[in-house]
Structure 1
Amino acid sequence: MADGRQPFAPYAAVGASTDVSHGNWRLGRGFLLGEAAAVLTYTGLCIAIFVISVSVLRSTTDHRILSALNAATYLPLLAITLPSGALAARFNQQKMLISAILAVAVFLALSSAIFIGGRPSVSALLLILAIFILACTGAVLASIWEITGPERAPDSAMLAAVAVVAAGFNIARMAGPLLGQGSLWLFGAWLTILLAAALALIAALLVGMAGSCSYNATSGRSPGPETQVNSSVSNRGAWTGGLRTFTLVASGSAISALLPSIAQGHFGDEASAGFGALSSSLAGGAIVGTIMTLLVPSKVHSLSRQLPAVLGVCMALLSFRAPLAIASCCSLLAGAAWFIIIAQLNLKSRAYGTRSLRARSVSRFVFVFSSGMTAGSVAWGFLASFLGLTSTLLLAALCVCLAAYMAADPGIARADITIASGMKTPDKPSP
């Protein structure tokens, strides 16, 4: 490669193959139980956040408040992700994961008290504060699992583990609104959130069943000489790369930030059902993107430069009133394009250096991603209140394409081709 860096071997080895006979899908019992626990817990969180969001949706038409729903779910990651990268390397990850899941269960049970007696009497801003508190517990869980979860899998299955972790959170985001909508209709808000807390308790039992699984991460290992040189070479462009990623993510955040406004503006009295369908379609598209990334990585890479344009077209189409089925299809396609764009950035953050350096790199990427989603959500909400929903979505579509063009980096593209082509490079052990 041009700068002398070598990709981490598991990615290079499995990037173009999903052959079960090579062991690339043998993720291990500990990883699978941990993943099931993370998905169950995050599904419970998404159910509760959906129920509270519906209450906000019914109480206001202010685009700024509605976009704050999305910002409130990503803001906690700004404060939690970077410390999680350091803590995960120093403390027992098993205990950290169980503690995070139990914290989610406790706060879900407490938040159900808002809905005792029917519709809450608190203001929309207090409901958003409740979402923020729940998102803080979810951020701890998501940070710990996203950073350390793939390290439970064998090195030969690392690419599959990264994709499965990302897909698991998107499955939760898809299932949460659907289950929340059905349970809200059957049981009401109070019991729905209590059932979500029960899912978290089941998840804690699953983590306990996994036992004390050893992680691949080695916090005490110091990087070798070649890694130190490579880190100093790549550090020069770290701020530039982070700014490019931030700009792209902030532009793309409009698709999720303005989803409540789209549902409210296009579907009127059926806004809650429309919001549930669009949210689930967006997350379902991410699952489609996961499957494509795993099965045809080289094809996905060849289309990567066209994906921002696909996302922009979907945003533009969602700016106009359309039947729910058509809007859901646009949301599905946008979710697939957005997931593949972000997944490639995520994979790059894991592609180089020792495992301890990868943990820090991933935590920095998640921090930049969360910063872009939070700042973008707030900005697009304010713009929509002044320019209107249609104009704001069209502007966001243009910004996504421009940001993707500015983020294009020939060096990164060469790294992608190396990883996707399956070029095998030995991973030298650190001394």
Structure 2
Amino acid sequence: MSGSFAPLRQPVFAVLWAATVLGNTGSFMRDVASSWLVTDLSASPAAVAMIQAAGTLPIFLLAIPAGVLSDILDRRKFLIFIQVMLASVSISLMILSHLGLLSVSSLVALTFLGGIGAALMGPTWQSIVPELVEKQDLKSAVALNSLGINIARSIGPATGGFLLAAFGAAVTYGADVLSYIFVIAALLWWRRPQDADDVLSERFTGAFRAGLRYARASRELHVVLIRAVVFFAFASAVWALLPLVARNLLEGDAGFFGILLGAVGAGAIVGALVMPRLRQKLDADQLVLGSVLVTALVMASLALAPPKFIAFVLLLLLGGAWIVALTTLNGTAQAILPNWVRGRALAVYLTVFNGAMAGGSLGWGLIAQELGVPTTLLVGGAGLVIAGLVMHRIKLPIGEADLTASHHWPEPLTIDPVEHDRGPVIIQIEYCVSRDSRPDFISALTRLSAERRRDGAYQWGVMEDAADPERITEWFMVESWAEHLRQHHRVSKADADIQAEVLRFHSAAEPPKVTHLLAIEAKHQKAFKP
């Protein structure tokens, strides 16, 4: 076994991958049952869209905290807890459905709880993949995870629709419960090594702030996020209204709805398989624009209530376009993120993605309630094309920088050991720069400031000596001594290149002088009062 399937040679990865495919299949079965049941309970488009929003809103709210938790908790135990939680949700749905007690409010509430589980699981599962395979197989493992999700997407909805039509919602939810049992068994079987003690390990609040600081300072991440918001906000219309399209426009039953969702999954699998060839001919921006145009075409065509076979083909196209856009945007985000913040920054991406889906679903549901489903799909498709053409001018980052840690900063010199939680800390770097070189130096230093902020600084500035204008001091502040020590391990080779460019303008024979200033603790401040 080689190439794309090489990670399956690792027994732990193979077992957990298979269990995850089974678990995701069960989740899609649950979702198709819930999406269809709400059309029985209410004819309101807003109520139907609320199910979509209830499943994605928790990921919008909790993805970032989930990313932090995945870094500071035992990931295996955390995943087991999440699976038990998700099984409990499906058990509740099964019992209420069997007793005939399901209502729109209870369905939305339990879907929301299921969304919480999905929010907690996403970053955690992504974080364990590097533990399961060799480094050279990591990209293939990520691709296999995407393939597994789409296998589940192609099997789950169709199976769920069949079970729903043949045996009812209680049996469909019960099948989902069984899938979680297999996932929990696989996680119990996995003997994950204990995490090594790390004196610089982050606590929740500090890790949370560090992740947000990075996201706020990364201009490249901002481009990916705004492109994702625009695409998913408009494209969410077809997902929010698809149950009504299947039932009212196409006059199908629950089984047909499952087949349509299965077509999306099948199209996504085909899209994933042809992606390598597409990447050879098209860049990331062209791939996203192509996905925009295909998705808009599908939305407009569904608004015309085509024959069922044509609708099936359209959903195949939608699945292919969706996976191309999703993979391109997610892959770009992965490429621009260093390892130390990958989970948290990807959680920011998931927050934006699911926020756009949740907000878009609610918005399109309300619009459909006033204008009708066909008109809403046409409006959404037209808006997607216009927004896609505008966003095409904002180019996605290439993501070719070397983000591995450079470890080129020397350890700071101190007379006595410094407590890790002591802070804040000011770091000053004194440069000697000629007047002629100053404009270029300031330009390079400004680029360096972004790196300082991404790696942990919450304030940054540059000042000159009034008595000697060629003596320029760069300064930045970090929360604590431990956070500054972490900066030493976060600086990438790409950042080192920027620093080398700044140092070219330093004219003195000695290296720039670096000073570390520590805040005086409150218990000692009274000694300095007059």
Would you say the 8 A contact 2:165–2:255 is kept in 1? no
Is residue 386 of structure 1 aligned with residue 370 of structure 2? yes
Aligned counterpart in structure 2 of residue 133 of structure 1, from 109, 113, 119: 113
Is residue 250 of structure 1 aligned with residue 233 of structure 2? yes
- After the TM superposition, which residues 75-90 of structure 1 pair with which residues of structure 2 at under 5 Å, given as runs? 75-90=57-72
Give the Cα separation in 2 of the matches to 1:277 and 1:76. Answer: 27
Query: Residue in 2 aligned with 1:159?
Result: 139
Query: Residue in 1 aligned with 2:456?
Result: none
Query: Residue in 1 aligned with 2:526?
Result: none
Is residue 322 of structure 1 aligned with residue 311 of structure 2? no
Q: Secondary structure at the match of 1:258?
A: helix
Q: Secondary structure at the match of 2:304?
A: coil
Q: Deviations over 1:265-300 (max 9, x none)?
A: 2233x3323321221212222222222225653246
Aligned length: 396
Q: Deviations over 1:141-161 (max 9, x none)?
A: 233213443553333223222
- Alpha carbons of structure 1 residues 24 and 348: separation in structure 2 relative to 1, 3 Å: farther
Quote how far apart the aligned CAs of 1:94 are.
1.2
Would you say the 8 A contact 1:147–1:362 is kept in 2? no
Aligned partner letter, 2:152:
A
Quote how far apart the aligned CAs of 1:410 are.
6.1
Quote how far apart the aligned CAs of 1:388 are.
1.6
Structure 2 unaligned regions, length at least 5:
203-210, 408-488, 490-530
Quote how far apart the aligned CAs of 1:86 are.
0.8
Is residue 313 of structure 1 aligned with residue 297 of structure 2? yes
Aligned partner letter, 1:180:
G
Q: Secondary structure at the match of 1:116?
A: helix
Aligned partner letter, 1:345:
L
Structure 1 unaligned regions, length at least 5:
1-18, 223-227, 420-424
Query: Residue in 1 aligned with 2:413?
Result: none
Query: Residue in 1 aligned with 2:14?
Result: 32
Would you say the 8 A contact 1:27–1:157 is kept in 2? no
Choose between structure 1 and 2 for higher RCO, CA contacts under 8 A separated by at least 6 residues: 1
Is residue 176 of structure 1 aligned with residue 168 of structure 2? no
Would you say the 8 A contact 1:314–1:330 is kept in 2? yes
- After the TM superposition, which residues 224-303 of structure 1 pair with which residues of structure 2 at under 5 Å, given as runs? 235-236=218-219, 238-239=221-222, 241-268=224-251, 270-294=252-276, 297-299=279-281, 301=283
Higher-Rg structure is 2
Query: Residue in 2 aligned with 1:347?
Result: 331
Give the Cα separation in 2 of the matches to 1:219 and 1:346. Answer: 32
Structure ranking higher in strand proportion: 2
Give the Cα separation in 2 of the matches to 1:333 and 1:206. Answer: 34
Is residue 205 of structure 1 aligned with residue 185 of structure 2? yes
- Alpha carbons of structure 1 residues 373 and 219: separation in structure 2 relative to 1, 3 Å: farther
Quote how far apart the aligned CAs of 1:359 are.
1.3
Would you say the 8 A contact 2:164–2:255 is kept in 1? no
- Alpha carbons of structure 1 residues 324 and 428: separation in structure 2 relative to 1, 3 Å: same
Query: Residue in 2 aligned with 1:58?
Result: 40
Quote how far apart the aligned CAs of 1:236 are.
4.0
Which TM-score applies when normalising by structure 1?
0.82
Give the Cα separation in 2 of the matches to 1:89 and 1:329. Answer: 42
Among the aligned pairs, what percent are the same residue? 24
Give the Cα separation in 1 of the matches to 2:282 and 2:195. Answer: 30
- After the TM superposition, which residues 109-124 of structure 1 pair with which residues of structure 2 at under 5 Å, given as runs? 109-117=91-99, 120-124=100-104
Quote how far apart the aligned CAs of 1:135 are.
2.5
Which TM-score applies when normalising by structure 2?
0.68
Give the Cα separation in 1 of the matches to 2:217 and 2:2. Answer: 34
Give the Cα separation in 2 of the matches to 1:113 and 1:308. Answer: 41
CA-based RMSD? 3.1
Give the Cα separation in 1 of the matches to 2:18 and 2:171. Answer: 23
Would you say the 8 A contact 1:36–1:206 is kept in 2? no
Would you say the 8 A contact 2:231–2:292 is kept in 1? no
Aligned partner letter, 1:318:
L
Give the Cα separation in 1 of the matches to 2:87 and 2:10. Answer: 26
Q: Deviations over 1:381-410 (max 9, x none)?
A: 111111221221111112222222233366
Would you say the 8 A contact 1:152–1:214 is kept in 2? no
Quote how far apart the aligned CAs of 1:21 are.
6.0
Would you say the 8 A contact 2:158–2:258 is kept in 1? yes
Give the Cα separation in 1 of the matches to 2:296 and 2:58. Answer: 27
Quote how far apart the aligned CAs of 1:411 are.
5.0
Give the Cα separation in 1 of the matches to 2:52 and 2:355. Answer: 12
- Alpha carbons of structure 1 residues 236 and 142: separation in structure 2 relative to 1, 3 Å: closer
Would you say the 8 A contact 2:123–2:343 is kept in 1? no
Quote how far apart the aligned CAs of 1:322 are.
1.4
Q: Secondary structure at the match of 1:322?
A: coil
Structure ranking higher in helix proportion: 1
Aligned partner letter, 1:285:
G
Q: Deviations over 1:192-220 (max 9, x none)?
A: 3222211101111112233216899x996
Query: Residue in 1 aligned with 2:495?
Result: none
Give the Cα separation in 1 of the matches to 2:5 and 2:241. Answer: 42
- Alpha carbons of structure 1 residues 364 and 215: separation in structure 2 relative to 1, 3 Å: farther
Is residue 69 of structure 1 aligned with residue 51 of structure 2? yes
Aligned partner letter, 1:199:
S
Query: Residue in 2 aligned with 1:408?
Result: 392
- Alpha carbons of structure 1 residues 107 and 233: separation in structure 2 relative to 1, 3 Å: closer
Q: Deviations over 1:94-146 (max 9, x none)?
A: 111122112222222222111224xx344323322222222322332233213
Would you say the 8 A contact 1:245–1:407 is kept in 2? no
Give the Cα separation in 1 of the matches to 2:114 and 2:50. Answer: 14
Is residue 20 of structure 1 aligned with residue 2 of structure 2? yes
Quote how far apart the aligned CAs of 1:308 are.
1.2
Aligned counterpart in structure 2 of residue 101 of structure 1, from 83, 89, 98: 83
